[in-house]
């Protein structure tokens, strides 16, 4: 993965993903089928939905040459758009991002990532640095 950036909507920051993320009235295209030839491909996507539409699209087992990406569960609260039981994003360099067990999607805002994950697991920086 490369070039993490914040994805913003009219309601605020949605998430932090790579360059090619686009947000359009409730739809967050967070991943592409083909990431890059040097990092591998993604397949078997699952959509995470809320009352506002599709929040994100992830993969159960995204493999790169630098490690694996364990995707989030697709359980979403029908009432509040709550996304639950997120997994860690891992690589050989340590944990890139940790998604909270109870991330609230409230009218467009998804606080999914933090630049600093923890001292224990390492950090994720919002930069164009490739793994």
Token duo for residue 24: 């359009």
Per DSSP, 122 falls in state B
pLDDT at residue 119, as a whole number:
28
pLDDT at 50: 47
Digit-by-digit pLDDT tens for the chain (131 residues) are: 333 344 444 444 444 444 333 333 333 333 333 333 333 343 334 444 444 444 445 444 433 333 333 333 333 333 334 443 344 444 444 444 444 433 443 333 333 333 323 323 333 333 222 22
**Which pairs with CB-CB distance under 8 Å and at least 24 residues apart come from 28-33?**
28/54, 28/55, 28/56, 28/57, 28/110, 29/57, 30/56, 30/57, 30/58, 31/57, 31/58, 31/59, 31/62
pLDDT value at residue 94: 45
Asked whether 78 and 48 are in contact (CB, 8 A), the reply is: no
Q: What's the confidence (pLDDT) of residue 35? A: 34
């Amino acid at each position: 993965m490369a070039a993490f950036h914040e994805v913003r909507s009219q309601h605020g920051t949605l998430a932090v993903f790579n360059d090619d993320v686009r947000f359009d009235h409730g739809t967050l295209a967070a991943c592409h089928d083909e990431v890059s030839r040097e990092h591998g491909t993604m397949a078997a996507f699952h959509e995470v939905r809320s009352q506002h539409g599709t929040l994100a699209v992830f993969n159960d087992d995204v493999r790169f040459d630098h490690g694996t990406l364990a995707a989030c569960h697709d359980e979403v609260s029908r009432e509040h758009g709550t996304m639950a039981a997120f997994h860690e994003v891992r690589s050989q360099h340590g944990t890139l991002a940790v998604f909270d067990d109870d991330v609230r999607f409230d009218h467009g805002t998804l606080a999914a990532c933090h630049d600093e994950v923890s001292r224990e697991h390492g950090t994720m920086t919002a930069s164009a640095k490739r793994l």
